[in-house]
Amino acid sequence: MSERIDYNHVAPAGAKALGGVYGYVMQSGLPATLVTLVYLRVSQINNCAYCLDMHMRDLLKGGVKIEKLALVQAWAEAGNLFDERERAALAWAETVTRVAETNVPDDAYRAARKVFNERELVDLTIAISLMNAYNRMSISFRKTPQAVLENAA
């Protein structure tokens, strides 16, 4: 797999705009680990190798245990390994990412609102939307994961 287009180079203003949204999310008050777990889950759903590699590395650097990361995809069956807010965020990420299939049902919204206030839920949805955009950019233009680059060296 080789990179098709370096979108950061070709459209730096667009990349900067996405980076601005990322900066907003990171200062939103949502815990960075929670946001990054959501980024990882969205990237799993979308099969984005570049983002999976990056967010896995970020979470490991942040001290999240590999046992927890191994179960992100099956978080609903992982018992108390994920706390209430993490479970709610991952569930919301799944239904929002699969919006064409789910239409984000009322019960999913009510479940998320039990755990997140309005501002948090909007910020979380911005984060989910951003990661879906990044996944689509990385997949479309074949951004090479760091692990692949390291393996080639």
Residue 25 lies in a domain: no
- Indicate the Cα dihedral angle 63, 68, 73, 79, nearest 10°: -140
Residue 12 lies in a domain: no
What is the full per-residue pLDDT of the chain (153 aa) written as tens digits? 689 999 999 999 999 999 999 999 999 999 999 999 999 999 999 999 999 999 999 999 999 999 999 999 999 999 999 999 999 999 999 999 999 999 999 999 999 999 999 999 999 999 999 999 999 999 999 998 887 888 877
Residue 9 lies in a domain: no
Total number of domains constituting the chain:
1
Residue 18 lies in a domain: no
Residue 132 sits in a domain whose CATH number is 1.20.1290.10
Give the domain range for residue 52: 31-152
Residue 17 lies in a domain: no
Question: In sequence order, what are the residues at sequence separation of 6 or more whose Cβ sits closer than 8 angstroms to the Cβ of residue 76?
Answer: 87, 90, 91
Closest to 76 in 3D by CA, of 123, 35, 118, 111: 111
